[in-house]
């Protein structure tokens, strides 16, 4: 009885070793085929195994690969800001003048409310790549959340010079004017954005709220009713597309807050 158990155990161990050997050989064969095609070990580990930590450790000279990994964990796949930040920092280390690495790191710091470090990074990006004008939009957000409203307005206006159809920039510029109590400017800015994006729920909400504050209740009711219809039909996926880089787990709460805000403003219209 005991000898049978020992024999069976030895047999199982032998089978396991054979499978391990087979796995090692298979990995080596796959790696050899990638390497022969000019694929680096870091790229091989990322493409085949999806192991970011090992790929970044192996990576010595492939800044685009590091950016690819960072974007995967920030925008395009799994959401993990820690891994995304590590990858973007690796990209910046490999190529100190690489377009976008500081911009992405600034976005992460902004999302985490580290506004001062976010500002330093986006200013560095603008110094290296002034042609990359999305940095103006990001800096506008940073200034806005930091309470530097005039500077925020300047950056959103700068961004709109080359992106006049951007609903988000119109909406955020209107948000700055709203915080300054400039409701006429809020209404004009949101209305201008609606010329390019007539069904945009964010612009409709902002425009309707501005009209409410201007005591134009009939028009406010009409616009806010449209906004609520659009908000009720909005999916979580559509909501998420408006906030790239934000945690997907927050989408449902954000959409709920928007709908409740519109309902509350409609109640004010009817008072």
The verdict on residue 83 lying in a domain is no
pTM of the model: 0.85
pLDDT at residue number 37:
55
DSSP sequence for 32-96:
HHHHHTT--HHHHIIIII--HHHHHHH-SS-HHHHHHHHHIIIIISS--HHHHHHHHHHHHHH-T
Alpha carbon distances (Å) from 110 to 102, 116, 143, 257, 270: 12, 9, 10, 21, 38
How far apart CA 84 and CA 90 sit, in angstroms, is 10
DSSP sequence for the chain:
-HHHHHHHHHHHHHHHHHHHHHHHHHHHHHHHHHHHTT--HHHHIIIII--HHHHHHH-SS-HHHHHHHHHIIIIISS--HHHHHHHHHHHHHH-TT-TTHHHHHHHHHHHTT-HHHHHHHHHHHHHH-TT-THHHHHHHHHHHHTT-HHHHHHHHHHHHTT-TT-HHHHHHHHHHHHHTT-HHHHHHHHHHHHHH-TT-HHHHHHHHHHHHHTT-HHHHHHHHHHHHHHHHH--HHHHHHTSTTS-GGGHHHHHHHHHHHHHHHHHHHT-
The verdict on residue 124 lying in a domain is no
* CATH number of the structural domain spanning residue 255: 1.25.40.10
The verdict on residue 241 lying in a domain is yes
Give, for all 271 residues of the chain, the pLDDT tens digit: 444 444 545 445 455 555 554 444 345 445 544 554 567 888 888 888 888 888 899 889 999 999 999 999 997 778 999 999 999 999 999 999 999 999 999 999 999 999 999 999 999 999 999 999 999 999 999 999 999 999 999 999 999 999 999 999 999 999 999 999 999 999 999 999 999 999 999 999 999 999 999 999 999 999 999 999 999 999 999 998 888 888 888 899 999 999 999 999 999 998 7
The verdict on residue 221 lying in a domain is yes
pLDDT at residue number 21:
45
Provide the domain limits for residue 200.
Answer: 164-271
Count of structural domains within the chain: 1
pLDDT at residue number 22:
45
The verdict on residue 116 lying in a domain is no
The verdict on residue 89 lying in a domain is no
pLDDT at residue number 49:
86
The verdict on residue 112 lying in a domain is no
């Amino acid at each position: 009885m005991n000898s049978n158990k020992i024999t069976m155990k030895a047999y199982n161990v032998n089978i396991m070793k054979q499978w391990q050997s087979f796995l090692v050989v298979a990995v080596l064969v796959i790696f050899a085929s990638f390497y022969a095609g000019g694929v680096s070990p870091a790229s091989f580990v990322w493409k085949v195994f999806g192991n970011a930590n090992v790929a970044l450790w192996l990576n010595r000279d492939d800044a685009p690969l590091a950016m690819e990994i960072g974007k995967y964990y920030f925008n395009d796949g799994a959401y993990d800001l820690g891994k995304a930040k590590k990858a973007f920092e690796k990209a910046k280390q490999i190529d100190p003048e690489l377009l976008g690495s500081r911009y992405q790191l600034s976005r992460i710091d902004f999302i985490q409310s580290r506004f001062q470090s976010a500002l330093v990074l986006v200013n560095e990006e603008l110094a290296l790549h002034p042609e990359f004008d999305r940095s103006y939009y990001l800096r506008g957000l940073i200034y806005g959340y930091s309470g530097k409203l005039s500077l925020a307005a300047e950056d959103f206006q700068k961004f709109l010079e080359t992106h006049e159809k951007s609903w988000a920039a119109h909406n955020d510029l209107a948000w700055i004017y709203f915080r300054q109590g400039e409701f006429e400017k809020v209404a004009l800015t949101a209305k201008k954005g609606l010329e390019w994006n007539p069904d945009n729920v964010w612009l409709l909400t902002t425009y309707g709220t501005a009209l409410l504050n201007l005591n134009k209740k009939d028009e406010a009711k009409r616009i806010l009713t449209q906004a609520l219809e659009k908000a009720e039909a909005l999916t979580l996926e559509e909501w998420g597309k408006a906030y790239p880089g934000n945690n997907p787990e927050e989408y449902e709460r954000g959409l709920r807050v928007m709908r409740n805000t519109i309902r509350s403003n409609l109640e004010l219209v009817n008072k």
